[in-house]
Structure 1
Amino acid sequence: MRQRNRLAIAAVLTCTAALTAGCGGAATDEPSAALEGRGPITYVAGKDEEGVNPKIVEAWNQAHPDEQVRFIELSSSADDQRQQMVQNAQTKSDAFTVLDLDNVWTTEFAANRWITELPRDRFGLEKFVPTTVETSVYRDRLYGVPTTSDGAMLYFRQDLLAKAGAKPPATWDEMRQTCEKVLALPEAAGMSCFAGQFEKYEGLTVNFSEAVHGAGGAVTDPEGKPHVNTPEAKRGLDALVEGFRSGMIPRDAITFKETETRRAFMDGKVVFTRAWPNQYSHAAKTDGSSGVAGKFDVAPLPGVAGPGVSSLGGHSLAISAFAKNKATAVDFIKFATAPEQQRLRLDQGSLAPTLGEIYDDPAMQAKYPYLPLLKKSIEGAEPRPRVIKYGEATDVIQENAYAALRGEKSSDQALADLQARLQELTGQQ
């Protein structure tokens, strides 16, 4: 079901005239024809807290004095990043060359011809984890090269579980039972059970999607139609709603984004958290900033009806359709997604690689023991709906899921309203 769903989304959620006037085929039949020109370019990405991108740009610039790259750092907010890139495209500005796109933006940017088709034979795609490449494809054409991926993991207090004689849970029911044991310990006084990302932003779309998929449902069905008004989706949403109602999820988690989730775990306020791999390096720090260093471990996400399913995160590098010096941009993308740069992103930012060889490298596994688990999470992950109007789709998902979590709507009403709005946005009844 999950694999068919993933392939169906890639194949079926394509543009129609009713969705956008910019829809259509690729701008050229031969991608190489549009990839000419050498000289200075820009590289545009969101705020880089770890300082990795400037180092990659510096390494490139030292080796290419006549084809310098200028790094343009945008906001830390994904919504703001997308808006600035969309504005640049709508004005047909050549200010942005290489775009660091969240993988859910690929469909929108490709359908509107804001990014340029790329040749499949230039980037060694066979070396990438297949699910990461799927997110860069639109209508069977390549529009980006995956530079980072993301698969969620369950972070847990290994020390407390060991003391309670418990193992990492495989389901939500098991997590609830484990928390009852752990929270009865004197060492767990004042702690709560579980936290994720439940503020009304993109993280809620991710967490909602994982709850639905982990309950055997899907945000879209195998034909690419919205499919959220189902018993399975209700079971997934109800698990979150009941989590807040029962106190399994602390009340203040309704305001949590990634940073707040990480802080709660590192400060010893929760036993379990759902988080991306970049939480690992923060939690493991021994400089006094983390209260759980040496006390935690990671496991697969638990699901409502069985094993959990991560939403597929990550970014790809694309080329603006309005940029100059696209031949240089192609070479820079190859450089920025090479093994050396992916190892740098992993070492300095705990950013998940997209190349399979890094996950399978024994030396890297010794350094990062969670890599095999992370690879499985990414291989089994489900993409968020790849629709042209993704910005509007994620807004309505957040609006209705948030209303259910706050008790402003029943889960039945929230899912019925969400189904209707997604059908309007996608044109899929």
Structure 2
Amino acid sequence: MNAHITRVLQCSAVLVAAGLVLTACGSSDGDSSSGQSKSPSFSGRGPITYVAAKDSSPVTQNLIDAWNKEHPKEKVTYIPLPGDVNQQRQQMIQNAETKSDAYTVLSLDVVWTSEFAAHQWIDQLPAGQFPLAKMLKPTVETAKYRGNLYAVPYAADGGVLYYRSDLLQKAGVAKPPTTWAEMKAACAKVEKLPEAKGMSCYAGQFQKYEGLTVNFAEAVNSAGGVITDASGKPDVDTPAAKKGLDFLVDSFKDGTIPKEAITYQEEEGRQAFQSGKLIFLRNWPYVYSLAEKSKVRGKVGVAPLPGLDGAGSSSLGGHNLALSSFAKNKATALDFMKYFSSQESTATYLKDASVAPPYEALYDDPAMVKQYPYLPALKKSILSAVPRPRVVQYGDATSAIQQQAYAALNGDKSSAQALKDLQSDLQKLATP
């Protein structure tokens, strides 16, 4: 969903993200004695709900149906939320603030764990009951707050570059681009083909929502910049960060990115690519399975994201399962979370919906690699990805990023002014 994620930073750096000083490394936010260090008792059995974004594939409902068949007295009802991640987060927060038991198991974006845990909206989980050692370490770290487990990964994610392999081949482009300049050069060749008439070069997710935070961060990181420095302080008003933002701004100006992409979220970009409107698309792994069922079947290649001078940086995306503190039937919920986050269930997500799994072994499985040849590259991408800020104030930080980046893309501000203003915004959030 890039705020490309650099390696698993040390505790203080990871939790400070975007210059916001966090409480996850032992500092106090006033709730250190609230009992958060103790796992709650998981009791009660019966019907529960699973709350997540609407799945564009049937996999989620199929897995729930299989559970319900085996647990007729503990059925799970799937509550699909809007595709917009900001709306998802807001609906979950509203449910928590009213202490409603309508939501049981929550599918959280990886950057929400700290916020939900700090507000005591989700329960601490018994880490020993989940096979965390078999999972990719960066994904497990996103599920922790103050060193304790508050969620369990069931989907990892990293941004990748989709491209029309048939058109690149016909245009004489031997391999996918590793830099932005190479990508634009490849587009120039492809656009001369009769089959490419009316196609645009590239798109990502640029509507003012979480996807813009991801794409902005990926561009900044892929140009050698950062949103925060090694100590976690805002450091986005730099020449390197400007080169990253300039790539996006200039691409809108020169037509590399079509004007309508300013409205794109994940699904709009996927549909544009599948309908033959784009040569290149930045998106998540889930797109591969759907693209292979569309008119571009057999014509899709996948590569790492390009950058300024070489391979770019990907965001660490993904989703974790969390248990609402206000839910009923928590014993059932815990068992369902084990089932839904199991290697078997996540393998089903990979096979049937190309959703990146948290389990390391699946990236090396020959059968899986045969079906999804990009898995080894995706594994490397996730292990070296740059995390978005996992902070209690994440909502304010991402809103600031979206506001300033969107202003630059729309031409309301220069890249330099947008970054200067963003630096100021993040410093204010970091001030106690």
Same fold by TM-score greater than 0.5: yes
User: Could you say which residue in structure 2 is the equivalent of 1:204?
Assistant: 212
Q: Is the 8 A contact 2:201 2:278 kept in 1?
A: yes
The alpha-carbon deviation at position 168 of structure 1 amounts to 0.8
Change (3 A) 1:374 1:22: same
Q: Deviations over 1:176-231 (max 9, x none)?
A: 22222222333323322111111112111110010011011111222122221112
The answer to whether 1:319 aligns with 2:334 is no
- Contact 1:22 1:112 survives alignment (8 Å): no
Number of the residue aligned with 1:230: 238
Residue type matched to 2:218 in 1?
A: E
Q: Secondary structure, in 3 states, of the residue corresponding to 1:34?
A: coil
Aligned to 1:70: 77
User: Relative to structure 2, which stretch is displaced further, 205-214 or 215-224?
Assistant: 215-224
User: Does the CA contact (< 8 Å) of 2:23 and 2:29 recur in 1?
Assistant: no
Alignment-derived partner of residue 250 in structure 2:
242
User: 1:34 aligns to what?
Assistant: 41
Kept in 2: contact 1:211–1:236 (CA 8 A): yes
Identify the match of residue 377 of structure 1 among 357, 360, 381.
381
1:258 to 245, 255, 266: 266
SS in 2 for 1:146: strand
Q: Select which of 357, 365, 384 maps to 1:353.
A: 357
Q: How far 1:265 moved relative to its partner?
A: 1.5
Partner of 2:393: 389
Q: Which amino acid aligns with 1:55?
A: N
Match of 2:277 among 269, 272, 275: 269
Q: Which amino acid aligns with 2:169?
A: A
Q: CA deviation at 1:317?
A: 0.4
Letter in 1 for 2:60: N
The alpha-carbon distance between structure 1 residues 63 and 348, as it changes in their structure 2 partners (threshold 3 A), is same
Deviations 1:225-281 (A, max 9, x none): 222111211111011111111222122222222222112222222211111111112
- Residue 330 of structure 1 and its aligned partner are, at CA, apart by 1.6
Post-superposition Cα deviations, 1:350-401, rounded to whole Å, max 9, x if no partner, equal 2211111221111111122222222222222112111212222211111110
Mean Cα deviation higher: 213-222 or 419-428: 419-428
Tell me the distance in 2 between the aligned counterparts of 1:399 and 1:298: 30
Picking from 79, 96, 101, the partner of 2:86 is: 79
Q: Pick from 168, 171, 187 the counterpart of residue 164 of structure 1.
A: 171
- Judging changes above 3 Å, is the alpha-carbon distance between structure 1 residues 67 and 263 closer, same or farther for their aligned structure 2 residues? closer
Letter in 1 for 2:262: I
Which SS does the other structure have where 1:301 is aligned? coil
Hey, what's the Cα distance between the residues in 1 that align with 2:272 and 2:150?
38
Give the direction of change, closer, same or farther, for the CA distance of 1:215–1:339 in structure 2 (3 Å limit). Answer: same
Q: Which residue of 1 aligns with 2:62?
A: 55
Separation in structure 1 between the aligned mates of residue 34 and residue 142 of structure 2, nearest angstrom:
17
Deviates more, 1:311-320 or 1:350-359: 350-359
**Map of 2:157 onto structure 1:** 150
Which position in structure 1 is the counterpart of 2:291? 283
CA contact (8 A) 1:156 1:271 kept: yes
Counterpart of 1:177 (choices 185, 190, 204) is 185
Q: Residues 86, 215 of structure 1: CA spacing in aligned structure 2 closer, same or farther, 3 A cutoff?
A: same
Give the corresponding residue for 2:200. Answer: 192
User: In 1, Cα distance between the equivalents of 2:172 and 2:65?
Assistant: 50
SS of 2:269's equivalent in the other structure is helix
Q: Using a 3 Å threshold, how does the CA distance of structure 1 residues 264 and 70 change in structure 2: closer, same or farther? A: closer
Report the alpha carbon displacement of residue 8 of structure 1 after superposing the two structures with TM.
Answer: 4.3
CA distance, structure 2, for counterparts of residue 398 and residue 159 of structure 1: 35
The yes-or-no answer on 1:95 pairing with 2:99 is no
What letter matches 2:376 in structure 1? P
The aligned amino acid for 1:405 is: L
**Aligned-partner SS, 1:273:** strand
Alpha-carbon offset, residue 5 of structure 1: 4.6
Which moves more between the two structures, 70-79 or 223-232?
A: 70-79
Change (3 A) 1:334 1:274: same
Unaligned runs of 5+ in 1: none
Q: CA RMSD in A?
A: 2.2
Q: 1:163 to 1:55 in 2, by over 3 A?
A: closer
TM norm structure 1: 0.92
Question: Structure 1 residues 348, 20: CA separation in 2 closer, same or farther (over 3 Å shift)?
Answer: farther
Aligned to 2:378, the other structure's residue is in SS state helix
Change (3 A) 1:260 1:66: closer
Cα deviations across residues 7-49 of structure 1 (Å, max 9, x unaligned)? 5433545239xx9977546634332x43333333222222123
Give the CA deviation at 1:135.
Answer: 1.0
Percentage of identical aligned residues? 55
Match of 2:335 in 1: 331
**Gaps spanning 5+ residues in structure 2: where?**
none
Q: Distance in 2 between matches of 1:329 and 1:145?
A: 13
8 Å contact kept, 1:34–1:116: no
Is the CA contact 2:400–2:422 (under 8 Å) kept in the aligned structure 1? Answer: yes
